[in-house]
Structure 1
Amino acid sequence: MGTHRRPKPPSRARIATLGVAAGAVSLLPTQSQAAPKPTADEVRKQVEKLYEEAEAPTEEYNGIREQQQKLQREVDGAQDRLARKQHEINELREKIGPLAASQYRSGAIDPSVQLFLSSDPDDYLDKAEALGRTGDRQTAALRALEGKQRELAQERADAAKRLKALNEARNEAAKKKDEVQGKLTKARKLLNSLTAEQRARMEAAQGREDAASGSSDAPASYNGPASGRAKTAIDFAYAQLGKPYEWGSTGPDSYDCSGLVGAAWRSAGVSLPRTVKQMYDAGRKVAQSDLQPGDIIYWYNDSQHNGIYIGDGKAIHAPRTGKNIEITQVSYMPFYAASRP
């Protein structure tokens, strides 16, 4: 009697797969199920978030650019030193006379020169002197040439190292630039997706929000209690009211947050580092209860956003892309710390 083999039951994984496949058809979106377009308020919140996310890489970009400029100056200096060393070597070769002439002019290498060009020129010179192969003046010239050649090799190595660091900084700056521009491009696309009516509603909502926060970018004159350098810095910042925020900019037509703070204090003869983080690290910290006009306010954290305290619970700052330099309440954003230049 033959055995009747029962069909193998499907595995649980197979059942789950079939179930998903069966349900997938009913889950496919139809025209009527398409996700609704975001409202003006939703777009505004997304755009604000993108602008806020762009601030940190902007400050990183500023720091890298500052490092890049320093490295560029070092590379330029190294190249100048290389040129001078090469000129000195060329002059020494001319002074060596017949010994060098056979190598550098006729191409016929004298045995003495061949020894000199070995891996240990000092050893050659010691032996040559012992054998009387060189005169005192010739020996001195050869020793000087050997020393300059070593210096030249060291300068070349240093220049190559600096050039490599410069290229790495350039690449890193380009990445940060792409990161910022990517977020700003996404924000622009969101704004462009709005109808004229939605845009008007969004701008009205932004206006109401600015009014609630006490923000204003209208031209004004400072009449607070600051004096000396702090007053000079604040007066400069006031003169920038209404100018646009532009990431990576230090003026005079536009600024980012740390660009404005640095330019204001520079007008008072105080040189500050370039980025929010560097300013925070370098400044003398003061408690919020001890704030004085001219102090630097840091919002969110120690590396994202800053401005200048002007008294009466207010600060002047360059807010973000799409907005102008303005006066706002310190409490409008999460206060993190303050420092005094």
Structure 2
Amino acid sequence: MTREFKSLEEVEALDGYNADNLVVPEQYAGVEGPYHFEFEVKCRLRKNNGRPCGEPHKHGWVLRSKDGGKAMIGGDCALEHFGIRSDELRRDMTLVSNALDVERTRAAIQQRVAEGKGKLGELLIARAELANVKAELVALRDDLGPVAWTVLEGMARADDARVRVTGVINAKREGDEVVRDRQTRPIVLGSLRSVRACLPETIAMPSIALAEVIGAYQRAEAALLLVEKPKEMKAFAAVLARTGSAIGGSRQAVAAVRQFLENDFSFVCFAIEDRGARYKVARAAHHRRGSAQGMEWVKKWVADTEMALRQAHGVDRVEFNDSWRRGLHWSTRRPATRVGR
């Protein structure tokens, strides 16, 4: 049975071990396992003159001879001075190292699974909370419509949460002469909190992370029995190690979406050029805030708001501002990306 030796006493307890035994390449029969000591022991590789190597090593290998005898060889000597059977020894050392890696990783996974039995419940709660806010985000998207959602995604990808319009001061003429050119000035109506929460990846990325970790916990017992390759075992352990970050990422996403949902979206309508779509968005936003009104009331609210802006900023009219388009990587005619169904 392959094992790792951490004390000289463990080696001395092996059947067939004798301090006078030599490692003879021609008699080599296999690797018992590596040794790692805090002190040095002398290499027992037989040199050409029949005497032991005698080089001191803290790390090396316990080898087995055809007659059942066991002896220690230093790590450097095993790699550099084993003669014609060095390839065979290197292969066996690799196999033993891989087997020990699997066992160490398996033990670490068993400990993590045992310690994390309560984590699976926490992970499932995090997944349910994420699903709930995703449903609320879908409902908001359906209420506001694809045109408004495109605006929100554009703002998010431009990393600019400000809702803006353009104030216009008309050109002034005296007869045929222009005495004052047309002037424009940006007007900020307000900013949306956590606007990036509207992007699909806000929900998608933590959902994927949670699914990977939850799946790993659910198949942990079977995996411990079936996985034998070191890379596969370490990859499995790495997924389990992401438990904390998966839960944390999910909670951050939930908090961001909830903050985003608390915004007053009525002013987003002013970022929409089409008047009909503008009224629909304003009506939906007011409805979500509990002030359901008919379309005539909404039209008056839009007109009154525009008048208030003109007066407050000293402009003749208020125009649509499409600065949010800078954040779009696709045609502005393309429907907004859905956050899921």
TM-score (norm 2): 0.25
Structure with bigger gyration radius: 2
Structure with greater proportional strand content = 2
Structure with greater proportional helix content = 1
